[in-house]
Amino acid sequence: MGSWAFVVISLVFLAGWMVGNGADGFDPYPFILLNLLLSSLAALQGAILLIAARRADQIAAELAVHDLEVNSEALALIRGIVAAVGATIPGEASTGPPG
């Protein structure tokens, strides 16, 4: 329901409905049946969009948790490297940063 193919098919269907039901069709000019059909379609599309948005939010939350875990692990590794480098340079660990 979110592609150009759907849009084109919908427009062709609507044009065909209007041409086929002009004055003598089973659904003449105010196109009440077509209006009911389009209203039902809009209601279904709204529900589908809400479901898709909820799923996208869930995926984003899972990715954020994963990013936090990776960042925490990286921070621990960096602190370990800094401690190891500080231990190998004499006098560097006790003096701290210049300043």
| CA angle (65 as vertex; 72, 52 as ends), nearest 5 | 160
Q: Retrieve residue 10's tokens.
A: 């919908």
Summarize pLDDT for 57-83 with one digit per residue, the tens.
999 999 999 999 999 999 999 999 999
Domain spans, the chain: 4-87
Residues of the chain with pLDDT under 50: 99
pLDDT of residue 75: 97
CA distance 20 to 31: 11
DSSP letter, residue 98: -
Predicted local distance difference test score (pLDDT) of residue 64: 97
- In the prediction, which pLDDT does 66 show? 97
